[in-house]
């Protein structure tokens, strides 16, 4: 006779269940609605299929599909559904891996058939047909030999390789839905009927296991959500993202261009340089206020420097090299070593510390052509680096100062952000004690500021842990921009010292930090955040004067002269075009203000002022407009959303 088990639910309630009862049966005993909605459950914190049985007293939490682990399970199940559809439509296809990813899933496929966008509709329709069949996902645990035999007989060479790579004591499980069986740890949704809101969207090439020495497979991507409404809302966001794409806007607004003659090396146009210089000027002003001194270090330095810093051993695959007078040199991928050479140019005392050195330094990194993406992923970019050299008892105060500065910058630009604390990676330098001290110092500063953050294990720099700031844009995407890295290793490797109160030599502690991250990436984010309609203080052209007829050109020139004298970036559109045409063009170019000048305005020394995105205009004197615009520029006012 089966014994009765005590099951503790998430809310603390305790229910009884028969030993051997499934999680689905437990859900039905609680609520038929819960049984319909749940896609999996956790038994004592471990995810399991609803078909799993209860064998002992346990804590059970049911997993719903809308968010978190439930959504990941649903998306992974959708990848299996797509693989089943492909197997039916394109027999002979061999399957690689099919994980859940952000917003959906993909599957890597080896097929003689070359998939095209036209195939996606047919595969998607087959997926919908299979979903309606409500095929159960059934788990079966097998021995290594049985799994290898199963996939070998089917010619699934990639599955065999995956099995052989598993640890000897690994539990090997197969999941079957209908006529399709896959190697998978699970869990999965109960049946294919749970998969209703998906869309296949693109095809790409992908080397097997990410190794360019392996065969190139075909990767099909899809989106998947718990509800059709969620999928539709996401697709609308994608359309909005296309409208805001910085590559498209960069060309339309004449900010920058990208060319085959320099893949990954962007060209900035005059208007783009105005935007870029405004960001640099703001950066300089705010750093001067906080006691930073600006420096500039060389772009190319000798190999010995990079060997000393550790980059030669830990970062060489991302660097560019050249020979000068028979010696090996490297183009700098980071500014840090140059900053340390600057520190060593003269003796330092404890009274000199902290020393805060900032650098808008051009760095180069070798990125594969396939990952280049507008200004977001380039091969040459300007990092707004700063290096702070300090006493050990200044660490917390300096980290808090940087956090405050990052927060001020992001609030100025209207960005929310998320924070991560990244800990020691595998290929790190230094002792356990140094790493514990450095990681603890960063965590203490975050706690002191009351900043919510998540831990990102093993993602620190090779020389120290770091705090990363992920900027959140208007489409709820996050982008890693700012970072604070605490470093005990570089001062040791470069033999940096200061004379302490005791007259002895001591080792300073070092902070590496950026705020923009890279100017190029930050410009891309700003362009997309504001869809090219930049805040007034950043707009390359802040006002355009539109004379109605040729006889108003002289007055328009007077307005332009007054605005320029007031520090406002303005221009005159004196073309012989209709006024409405010139207004529409100014709106298309997202000029913050258009100022119409006709007979009445010339007589009154006024202009008809129209803001970007509005239909109505307001007449005011040139002086009043200059004061209005000047105040908004000074305050760095954000556009009304």
**Catalytic position from the list 311, 332, 512, 590:** 512
512 included as an active-site residue? yes
Relative to beta strand 14-18, strand 4-8 is: antiparallel
Place of tokens 């404890």: 350
Annotation says 365 is catalytic = yes
**24, 219, 466, 610: the active-site residue:** 466
What does residue 122 show for φ and ψ, rounded to 5 degrees? -65, -40
Instruction: Reply yes or no on whether 144 is catalytic.
Output: no
Q: Answer yes or no: 271 catalytic.
A: no
Q: Which position among 365, 513, 521, 582 bears the catalytic label?
A: 365
Alpha-carbon span 506 to 352, nearest angstrom:
13
Selecting among 42, 94, 387, 582, the annotated active-site residue is 387
Length of the chain measured in residues: 641
Give the active site residue among 194, 336, 357, 481.
336
Q: Are 138 and 175 in contact (CB under 8 A)?
A: yes
Question: How many CB atoms within 10 Å of residue 584?
Answer: 12
Distance CA 452, CA 416 (A): 13
Contact 197, 231 (CB under 8 A): yes
d(CA 410, CA 516): 9
Q: Does residue 383 have an active-site annotation?
A: yes
CA–CA separation, 602 vs 637, rounded Å?
Answer: 30
Rounded Cα distance between 374 and 315, Å, is 23
Q: Is 385 a catalytic residue?
A: yes
Count CB neighbours of 208 within 10 A. Answer: 18
d(CA 352, CA 154): 71
Give me the DSSP letters along 370-425: GG-BTTTB-SEEEEEEEEEEE-GGGHHHHHHHHHHHHHHHHHHTT-EEEEEEE---
Of 218, 383, 394, 542, the catalytic one is: 383
Q: Hey, which residues are catalytic here?
A: 336, 365, 383, 385, 387, 466, 512
């Amino acid at each position: 006779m089966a014994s009765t088990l005590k099951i503790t639910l998430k809310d603390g309630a305790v229910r009884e269940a028969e030993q051997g009862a499934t999680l689905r049966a437990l859900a039905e005993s609680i609520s038929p609605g819960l049984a319909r909605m749940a896609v999996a459950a956790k038994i004592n914190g471990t995810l399991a299929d609803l078909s799993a049985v209860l064998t002992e007293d346990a804590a059970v939490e049911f997993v719903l599909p809308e968010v978190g682990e439930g959504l990941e399970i649903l998306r992974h199940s959708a990848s299996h559904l797509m693989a089943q559809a492909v197997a039916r439509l394109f027999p002979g296809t061999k399957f690689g891996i099919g994980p859940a990813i952000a917003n959906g899933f993909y599957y890597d496929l080896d097929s003689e058939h070359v998939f095209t966008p036209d195939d996606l509709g047919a595969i998607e329709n087959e997926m919908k047909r299979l979903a309606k069949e409500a095929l159960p996902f059934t788990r079966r645990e097998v021995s290594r030999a049985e799994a290898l035999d199963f996939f070998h007989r089917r010619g699934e060479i990639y599955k065999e390789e995956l099995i052989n790579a598993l640890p000897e004591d690994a539990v090997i499980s197969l999941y079957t839905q209908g006529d399709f069986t896959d190697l998978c740890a699970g869990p999965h949704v109960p049946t294919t009927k749970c998969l209703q809101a998906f869309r296949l969207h693109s095809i790409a090439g992908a080397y097997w296991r990410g190794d360019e020495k392996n065969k190139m497979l075909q990767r099909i991507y899809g989106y998947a959500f718990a509800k059709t409404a969620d999928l539709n809302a996401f697709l609308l966001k994608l359309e909005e993202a296309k409208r805001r794409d910085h590559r498209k806007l960069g060309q339309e607004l004449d900010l920058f261009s990208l060319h085959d003659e320099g893949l990954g090396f962007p060209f900035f146009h005059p208007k783009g340089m105005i935007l870029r210089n405004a960001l640099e000027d703001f950066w300089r002003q705010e750093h001067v206020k906080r006691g930073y001194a600006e420096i500039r270090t060389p772009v190319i330095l000798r190999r010995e420097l990079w060997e000393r810093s550790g980059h030669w051993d830990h970062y060489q695959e991302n660097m560019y090299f050249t020979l000068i007078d028979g010696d090996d040199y490297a183009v700098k991928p980071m500014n840090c070593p140059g900053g340390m050479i600057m520190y060593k140019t003269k003796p330092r005392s404890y009274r000199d510390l902290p020393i805060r050195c900032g650098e808008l330094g051009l760095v180069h990194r070798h990125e594969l052509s396939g990952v280049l993406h507008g200004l977001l992923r380039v091969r040459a970019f300007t990092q707004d680096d700063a290096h702070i050299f300090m006493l050990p008892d200044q660490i917390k105060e300096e980290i808090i100062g940087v956090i405050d500065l990052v927060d001020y910058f992001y609030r100025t630009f209207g960005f929310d952000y998320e924070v991560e604390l990244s800990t020691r990676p595998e290929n790190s330098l230094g002792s356990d004690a140094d790493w514990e001290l450095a990681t603890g110092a960063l965590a203490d500063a975050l706690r002191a500021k009351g900043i919510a953050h998540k831990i990102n294990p093993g993602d620190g720099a090779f020389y120290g842990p770091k705090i990363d700031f992920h900027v959140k844009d208007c489409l709820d995407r996050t982008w890693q921009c700012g970072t604070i890295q605490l470093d005990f290793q570089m001062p040791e490797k470069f033999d940096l010292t200061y004379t302490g109160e005791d007259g002895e030599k001591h080792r300073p502690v070092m902070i590496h930090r950026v705020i923009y991250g890279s100017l190029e990436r930050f410009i891309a984010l700003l362009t997309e955040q504001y869809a090219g309609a930049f805040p007034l203080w950043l707009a390359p052209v802040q006002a355009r004067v539109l004379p109605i007829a040729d006889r108003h050109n002289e007055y328009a020139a007077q307005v332009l002269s007054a605005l320029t004298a007031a520090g406002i970036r303005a221009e005159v559109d004196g073309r012989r075009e209709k006024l409405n045409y010139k207004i529409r063009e100014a709106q298309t170019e997202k000029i913050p203000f258009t100022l119409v000048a006709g007979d009445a305005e010339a007589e009154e020394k006024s202009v008809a002022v129209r803001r970007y995105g509005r239909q109505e205009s307001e007449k005011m004197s040139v002086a009043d407009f200059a004061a209005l615009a000047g105040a908004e520029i000074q305050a760095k006012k954000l556009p009304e959303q």
